[in-house]
A and B are shown apart, each in its own frame.
Chain A
Amino acid sequence: MHYLIAISYAIVLWWVSTGIIIILYRQARWTYDATFGGMSIVAAACAVALYLLRENSETWAVYASFSAGTVVWGWNLASYYTGFITGQRVELPALPLTNRQRFVFAVKSTIHHELVSLLLLGGALWSIPGATNPTGFVTIVLFYVLHLLAKLNIYFGVHNFSGEWLPAHLSYITAFFGPARTHWFFVFTVSIATACTIWATGIAIQSSQSHLQIAGAFWALLSGAGLLELLVLMIPSAYLHRVLAFLTHLSVAASTKPR
Chain B
Amino acid sequence: MASERTFLPRSIQARWLELRAWIMRHPDAPWWLRVLRLGLFQFGMGVSLAPITGTLNRVLIHELAISAGFVAALMSIHYFVSPIRTVVGHISDQKRMEGRWRTPYLVLGAMLTYGGLATAPFSLILFSPESNLQGWMVYVFSIAIFLVYGIGVNIVETSYLALVSDITSDGERGKTLAILWLMLVIGTVVGSLVVGLLLTNYTHSNLIRVMQGSAVVFLICTFLALFNQEKMRPDGTLVAEVSRQARQSLGTSIRTLWQSSALRGMFLIFFVATLGFGTHDILLEPYGGEVLGMSVTATTFLTAIWGVSMIIAIIIAGWWLWRGHASGKLLIAGGMAGIVGFGVVSLSGFWGGAWLFQLGVSIIGMGRGLFIVGSIATVMQLADNAHTGLFLGMWGVVQALAQGFGTIGGGIARDYIQATTQSVVLGYVGVYIVAGLFLVFMVGYMVIRRIDRRLANGEIRSPWSGLQDIPADQLLY
A189-232 at interface with B (beta carbon < 8 Å): 190-192, 194-196, 198-199, 202-203, 206
Interface contact B316-A198, CB-CB below 8 Å: no
Interface contact A198-B298, CB-CB below 8 Å: no
Q: Flag the segment in A84-92, A116-124, A179-187 that touches B.
A: A179-187
Interface contact A194-B298, CB-CB below 8 Å: no
**Chain A residues positioned under 8 Å from B313 (CB to CB):** 191, 194
B386 to A: closest C-beta gap in Å: 31
Q: Is A129 an interface residue (CB 8 A)?
A: yes
A187-B359 contact, Cβ under 8 Å, with A192-B337, A192-B366, A195-B366: no
Binary CB contact string for chain B from 225 to 239 against chain A (1 if under 8 A, 0 otherwise): 000000000000000
Interface contact A194-B355, CB-CB below 8 Å: no
Interface contact B352-A202, CB-CB below 8 Å: no
What is the bound-complex CA distance between A225 and B330, given in angstroms? 24
What is the bound-complex CA distance between A202 and B189, given in angstroms? 13
**Chain B residues positioned under 8 Å from A129 (CB to CB):** 351-352
A30-69 at interface with B (beta carbon < 8 Å): none
Interchain pairs with CB closer than 8 A, number: 70
A182-B325 contact, Cβ under 8 Å, with A191-B367, A202-B305: yes
Interface contact A202-B362, CB-CB below 8 Å: yes
Q: Is A188 an interface residue (CB 8 A)?
A: yes
B247 to A: closest C-beta gap in Å: 35
**Chain A residues positioned under 8 Å from B406 (CB to CB):** none
What is the bound-complex CA distance between A172 and B181, given in angstroms? 47
Q: Is B472 an interface residue (CB 8 A)?
A: no
A206-B363 contact, Cβ under 8 Å, with A182-B323, A184-B330, A198-B312: no
Interface contact B336-A188, CB-CB below 8 Å: yes
What is the bound-complex CA distance between A190 and B325, given in angstroms? 15
**Chain A residues positioned under 8 Å from B341 (CB to CB):** 195
A99 to B: closest C-beta gap in Å: 14
**Chain B residues positioned under 8 Å from A196 (CB to CB):** 359, 362
What is the bound-complex CA distance between A192 and B329, given in angstroms? 16
What is the bound-complex CA distance between A194 and B365, given in angstroms? 11
Binary CB contact string for chain B from 309 to 346 against chain A (1 if under 8 A, 0 otherwise): 10011001100100101000110111011001100000
Interface contact A192-B330, CB-CB below 8 Å: no
A191-B301 contact, Cβ under 8 Å, with A129-B351, A196-B359, A203-B358: no
Interface contact A191-B332, CB-CB below 8 Å: no
B347 to A: closest C-beta gap in Å: 10
Q: Is B151 an interface residue (CB 8 A)?
A: no
- Choose among A185, A192, A202 the residue that contacts B301 (Cβ–Cβ < 8 A): A202
**Chain A residues positioned under 8 Å from B320 (CB to CB):** 187
- Choose among A187, A202, A206 the residue that contacts B330 (Cβ–Cβ < 8 A): A187
Q: Is A22 an interface residue (CB 8 A)?
A: no
B338 to A: closest C-beta gap in Å: 10
**Chain A residues positioned under 8 Å from B309 (CB to CB):** 194-195, 198
- Choose among B301, B305, B337 the residue that contacts A188 (Cβ–Cβ < 8 A): B337
**Chain B residues positioned under 8 Å from A206 (CB to CB):** 298, 301
B305 to A: closest C-beta gap in Å: 5
What is the bound-complex CA distance between A196 and B301, given in angstroms? 16
**Chain A residues positioned under 8 Å from B363 (CB to CB):** 191-192, 195
Q: Is A11 an interface residue (CB 8 A)?
A: no
- Number of B residues near A (Cβ < 8 Å) is 34
A194-B316 contact, Cβ under 8 Å, with A188-B337, A199-B359: yes
Q: Is A77 an interface residue (CB 8 A)?
A: no
Interface contact B308-A198, CB-CB below 8 Å: yes
Interface contact A199-B333, CB-CB below 8 Å: no
Interface contact B333-A195, CB-CB below 8 Å: no
Among residues of A, the one whose C-beta sits closest to the C-beta of B305 is: A202
Q: Is A128 an interface residue (CB 8 A)?
A: yes
What is the bound-complex CA distance between A194 and B367, given in angstroms? 11
B309 to A: closest C-beta gap in Å: 5
**Chain B residues positioned under 8 Å from A203 (CB to CB):** 355, 358
What is the bound-complex CA distance between A18 and B20, given in angstroms? 53
Q: Is B163 an interface residue (CB 8 A)?
A: no
Q: Is B40 an interface residue (CB 8 A)?
A: no
Interface contact B358-A194, CB-CB below 8 Å: no
What is the bound-complex CA distance between A242 and B364, given in angstroms? 36
**Chain A residues positioned under 8 Å from B124 (CB to CB):** none
- Choose among A128, A182, A187, A195 the residue that contacts B365 (Cβ–Cβ < 8 A): A195
What is the bound-complex CA distance between A196 and B330, given in angstroms? 19
Interface contact B333-A128, CB-CB below 8 Å: no
**Chain A residues positioned under 8 Å from B442 (CB to CB):** none
A191-B333 contact, Cβ under 8 Å, with A198-B312, A206-B298: yes
What is the bound-complex CA distance between A194 and B340, given in angstroms? 14
**Chain A residues positioned under 8 Å from B359 (CB to CB):** 195-196, 199
What is the bound-complex CA distance between A226 and B452, given in angstroms? 29
Among residues of B, the one whose C-beta sits closest to the C-beta of A128 is: B352
B357-400 at interface with A (beta carbon < 8 Å): 358-359, 362-363, 365-367, 370
A191-B366 contact, Cβ under 8 Å, with A129-B351, A182-B323, A206-B298: yes
- Choose among A182, A191, A199 the residue that contacts B337 (Cβ–Cβ < 8 A): A191
Residue of A196, A198, A202 with most chain B CB atoms under a 10 A cut-off:
A198
Among residues of A, the one whose C-beta sits closest to the C-beta of B324 is: A182
Interface contact B316-A191, CB-CB below 8 Å: yes
**Chain B residues positioned under 8 Å from A199 (CB to CB):** 305, 355, 358-359, 362
**Chain B residues positioned under 8 Å from A194 (CB to CB):** 309, 312-313, 316, 366
A124 to B: closest C-beta gap in Å: 12
A118 to B: closest C-beta gap in Å: 17
**Chain A residues positioned under 8 Å from B358 (CB to CB):** 199, 202-203
What is the bound-complex CA distance between A129 and B316, given in angstroms? 33
What is the bound-complex CA distance between A98 and B308, given in angstroms? 40
A191-B370 contact, Cβ under 8 Å, with A199-B305, A199-B358, A202-B305: yes
**Chain A residues positioned under 8 Å from B333 (CB to CB):** 184-185, 187-188, 191
What is the bound-complex CA distance between A187 and B366, given in angstroms? 10
**Chain B residues positioned under 8 Å from A192 (CB to CB):** 337, 340, 363, 366
Contacts A129-B352, A185-B333 known; list 4 others, CB within 8 Å. Answer: A129-B351, A184-B332, A187-B329, A192-B366
Please list 24 pairs of residues, one from A and one from B, whose beta carbons are closer than 8 Å in the complex, sorted by A's number: A128-B352, A129-B351, A129-B352, A184-B330, A184-B332, A185-B333, A187-B316, A187-B317, A187-B320, A187-B333, A188-B333, A188-B337, A190-B316, A191-B313, A191-B366, A192-B363, A195-B362, A195-B366, A196-B359, A198-B305, A198-B312, A199-B358, A202-B304, A202-B362
Residues of chain B whose beta carbon lies under 8 Å from any beta carbon of chain A: 298, 301, 304-305, 308-309, 312-313, 316-317, 320, 323, 325, 329-330, 332-334, 336-337, 340-341, 351-352, 355, 358-359, 362-363, 365-367, 370, 452
Closest 6 CB pairs of A and B: A184-B329, A191-B366, A187-B333, A195-B362, A195-B363, A188-B333
